């Protein structure tokens, strides 16, 4: 098979179908020949190709049929996504407390263009009824929990957490395997202020969405 492969490659190069613009360094070529020493998920060459594909299709992206194949987080969109994402995690943690469901069994969808999000039970099991029971038996306590955000959005790390972006396992982070962005673009500051996440440019502290909502509600009374 190696001989056939070498002959095919040579014939394609002679025909002009395959052109080599640069040769691999000897060290890299040697490592390439030793790929069998790594498990597939640790193979650096495979990871290189996968990362290049991710960057091309999701991080930098291309325009296909007039539409981008990726989400550009470099515009004030970053702030909108962070707010919705943080609010979704806040709701998910409230559901966990009042339904008894494991946080790892709850999923999320973010709809930035609609300024909306949805959380759901990501499994078709009998405990799906726990969500119905939550609303039927504890809806007032659940809504009170969400309204009492100075306490419910507290964190054991306090100011340290806020100075690091306002998100840690003690407050609104969830298991990375169920989070859409592996706990990126997440900050309590978007909800209650008191800080500024690192991914938002500037130095001034944010004024949280829930603060605005509370002030507007009081002004209308």
- Quick: pLDDT tens for 103-125: 888 889 888 878 899 988 876 55
Most confident by average pLDDT, 53-67, 78-92, 144-158, 171-185: 78-92
d(Cα 170, Cα 61) in Å, to the nearest integer? Answer: 34
pLDDT above 70: residue 193: yes
User: Residue range 190-217: average pLDDT?
Assistant: 85
Indicate the pLDDT class of residue 203, thresholds 50, 70 and 90.
confident
Quote the pLDDT of residue 73.
58
Quote the pLDDT of residue 144.
92
pLDDT above 80: residue 166: yes
Cα angle 38, 39, 41; round to 5? 115
d(Cα 146, Cα 118) in Å, to the nearest integer? Answer: 16
Closest by CA position to 93, among listed 82, 104, 83, 84: 104
Quote the pLDDT of residue 71.
62
d(Cα 216, Cα 212) in Å, to the nearest integer? Answer: 6
**Percent residues over pLDDT 90 in the chain:** 13
pLDDT above 80: residue 40: no
Quote the pLDDT of residue 214.
86
Q: What is the pLDDT of residues 133-154, one digit of tens each?
A: 888 888 899 999 998 888 888 8
Indicate the pLDDT class of residue 4, thresholds 50, 70 and 90.
very high
Q: What is the pLDDT of residues 69-103, one digit of tens each?
A: 666 655 577 888 899 999 999 999 999 888 878 88
């Amino acid at each position: 098979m190696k001989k056939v492969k070498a002959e095919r490659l040579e014939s394609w190069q002679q025909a002009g179908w395959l052109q080599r613009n640069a040769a691999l360094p000897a060290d890299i070529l040697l490592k390439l020949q030793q790929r069998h020493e790594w498990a597939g998920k640790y193979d650096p060459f495979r990871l290189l190709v996968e990362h290049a594909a991710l960057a091309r299709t999701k991080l930098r992206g291309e325009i296909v049929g007039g539409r981008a194949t990726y989400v550009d987080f470099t515009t004030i969109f970053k702030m909108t996504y962070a707010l919705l994402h943080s609010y979704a995690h806040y709701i998910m943690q409230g559901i966990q407390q009042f339904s008894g469901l494991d946080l790892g069994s709850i999923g999320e969808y973010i709809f930035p263009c609609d300024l909306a999000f949805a959380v759901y039970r990501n499994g078709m099991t009998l405990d799906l009824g726990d969500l119905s029971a939550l609303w039927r038996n504890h809806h007032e306590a659940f809504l009170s929990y969400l309204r009492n955000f100075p306490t419910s959005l507290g964190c054991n790390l306090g100011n340290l957490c806020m100075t690091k972006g306002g998100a840690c396992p003690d407050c609104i982070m969830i298991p990375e395997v169920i989070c859409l962005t592996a706990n990126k673009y997440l900050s309590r500051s978007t909800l209650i202020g008191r800080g500024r996440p690192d991914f938002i440019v500037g130095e001034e502290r944010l004024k949280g969405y829930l603060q605005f909502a509370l002030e507007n509600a009081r002004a209308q009374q």
